[in-house]
């Protein structure tokens, strides 16, 4: 399901070998387009954390690692443990100075948690329901990578007369190697079990036949999946997210890519359009505008009449009408910022609103 939702948004998943190191492998692939650096990245994050704590530069979100020595020791010993995934993503974003988009499925929608939105360079990952991580790229980038692969295969064939088949779609070589090694390892384990067993020959033959059928079926499924999945994503470190989503029509026709941080913002209502049932809030933090819809106001128990009494600015067709007395302050809210893909680009929307005017 995640593949289809990613493709609807101009993105593709590049498979990473399954295992406890999938997050570090996916990070390595997103940064260097190879999973070979995953062990070094794991070690670097541990060293980076220790340095940040020593220099007293650890952010508030990771302060528990500074105050809880036992937890920090556990992390340093086994950083790949799944409970530390959020810590690893935050440290990766800090150390490599990259924005990280992490896609996942929730309620049949494609969601996106963003780490360090202020960084210009960007990498993209996805997580499935089994907590396995893969790297994500744009279709355009994988098309370019496929062309490069074809040129390399062609040159190898001309140079050493290898006569290797030139791939028509992107070939995920590391994933293919992992699959072959896994099949070989499973077969070797089966052989050892058979040699140590005293079962009858017909039982051994039956076991071997069943294992071969399972491996054959698994290989066929993986091969089909590779053809569908391995056409994937955007150049490491480059933010093509807006470009790849420009063909999105309306929020209802394609899955929304959302990010809803836990931190709350505050701001004042700038204006509200009665005819269109939406308006904008000005953030207190940076004076930027945030979209707000009537539905979200009503969920918070706030009506148009309530806004009028508070002195809101309403728009009715071409005329702007000011309701309330001139000395009344505009309504002030606390809310969460939801990032989503609008008709042409990324937008921000205020949700979970709470009126905080006295």
Confidence at residue 242, expressed as pLDDT on a 0 to 100 scale: 33
pTM over 0.75: no
User: pLDDT-derived band of residue 195, with 50, 70 and 90 as boundaries?
Assistant: low
Confidence at residue 145, expressed as pLDDT on a 0 to 100 scale: 87
Two tokens, residue 91? 């440290």
CA distance 173 to 16: 11
User: Is the model more confident about 299 or about 326?
Assistant: 299
User: pLDDT-derived band of residue 205, with 50, 70 and 90 as boundaries?
Assistant: low
Q: Averaged over 293-313, what is the pLDDT?
A: 74
CA distance 242 to 10: 10
Mean pLDDT, all residues of the chain: 75
User: Is the model more confident about 281 or about 256?
Assistant: 281
Taking the alpha carbons at both ends of the chain, their separation in whole angstroms is 47
E strands, the chain, in order? 11-14, 99-106, 109-115, 122-127, 133-138, 265-273, 278-283, 289-293, 313-316, 319-322, 332-341, 346-355
Instruction: Determine how many CB atoms are found less than 10 A away from the CB of residue 80.
Output: 18
Q: Which residue has the tokens 């921000």?
A: 348
Confidence at residue 156, expressed as pLDDT on a 0 to 100 scale: 83
CA distance 242 to 9: 10
E strands, 40-146, in order? 99-106, 109-115, 122-127, 133-138
Q: Are 52 and 58 in contact (CB under 8 A)?
A: yes
Confidence at residue 55, expressed as pLDDT on a 0 to 100 scale: 93
User: Which of 61-75, 288-302, 314-328 tops mean pLDDT?
Assistant: 61-75
Domains of the chain, each with CATH number or no CATH: 2-140 (3.90.70.80), 265-355 (2.40.50.140)
Whether residue 289 is predicted with pLDDT greater than 50 in this model: the reply is: yes
Q: Which residue has the tokens 């394609």?
A: 254
Whether residue 29 is predicted with pLDDT greater than 80 in this model: the reply is: yes
Two tokens, residue 8? 């609807």
Inter-CA distances, 181 with 15, 26, 33, 317, Å: 16, 19, 21, 67
Confidence at residue 26, expressed as pLDDT on a 0 to 100 scale: 96
Do β-strands 289-293 and 278-283 pair in parallel, antiparallel, or remain unpaired? antiparallel
User: Which of 61-70, 262-271, 311-320 tops mean pLDDT?
Assistant: 61-70
Q: Which residues contact 38 (CB under 8 A, 6 or more apart)?
A: 21, 24, 25, 27, 28
Tens digits of residue pLDDT in 107-133:
889 999 999 878 889 999 999 999 999
CA distance 349 to 78: 38
Least confident of 53-67, 68-82, 237-251, 252-266: 237-251
Element (H, E) at 20: none
Whether residue 342 is predicted with pLDDT greater than 70 in this model: the reply is: no
């Amino acid at each position: 399901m995640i593949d289809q939702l990613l493709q609807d948004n101009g993105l593709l998943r590049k498979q990473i070998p399954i295992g406890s190191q999938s997050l570090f492998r996916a990070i390595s692939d997103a940064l260097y387009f190879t999973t070979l650096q995953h062990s070094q990245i794991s070690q670097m994050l541990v060293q980076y954390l220790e340095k940040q704590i020593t220099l007293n530069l650890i952010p508030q979100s990771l302060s528990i690692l500074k105050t809880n020595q036992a937890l920090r020791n556990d992390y340093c010993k086994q950083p790949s443990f799944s409970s530390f995934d959020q810590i690893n993503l935050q440290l990766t974003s800090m150390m490599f100075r990259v924005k990280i988009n992490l896609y996942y499925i929730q309620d049949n929608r494609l969601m996106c948690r963003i780490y360090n939105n202020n960084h210009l360079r960007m990498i993209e990952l996805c997580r499935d329901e089994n907590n396995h991580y893969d790297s994500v790229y744009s279709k355009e980038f994988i098309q370019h990578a496929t062309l490069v692969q074809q040129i390399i295969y062609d040159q190898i064939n001309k140079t050493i007369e290898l006569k290797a088949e030139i791939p028509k779609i992107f070939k995920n070589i590391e994933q293919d190697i992992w699959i072959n090694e896994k099949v070989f390892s499973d077969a070797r384990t089966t052989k050892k079990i058979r040699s140590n067993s005293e079962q009858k020959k017909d039982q051994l033959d039956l076991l071997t036949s069943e294992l071969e059928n399972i491996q054959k079926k698994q290989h066929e499924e993986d091969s089909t999946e590779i053809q569908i999945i391995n056409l994937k994503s955007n150049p490491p470190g480059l933010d093509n997210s807006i470009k790849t989503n420009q063909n999105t029509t309306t929020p209802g026709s394609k899955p929304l890519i959302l990010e809803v941080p836990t931190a709350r913002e505050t701001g004042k209502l700038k204006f509200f359009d009665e005819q269109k049932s939406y308006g904008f809030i000005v953030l207190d933090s940076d004076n930027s505008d945030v979209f707000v819809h009537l539905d979200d106001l009503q969920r918070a128990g706030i009506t148009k009449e309530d806004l009028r009494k508070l002195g809101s600015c309403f728009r009715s067709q071409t005329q702007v009408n000011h309701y309330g007395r001139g000395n009344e302050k505009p309504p002030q809210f606390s809310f969460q910022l939801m990032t989503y893909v609008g008709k042409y680009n990324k937008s921000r929307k205020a949700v979970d609103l709470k009126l905080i005017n006295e």
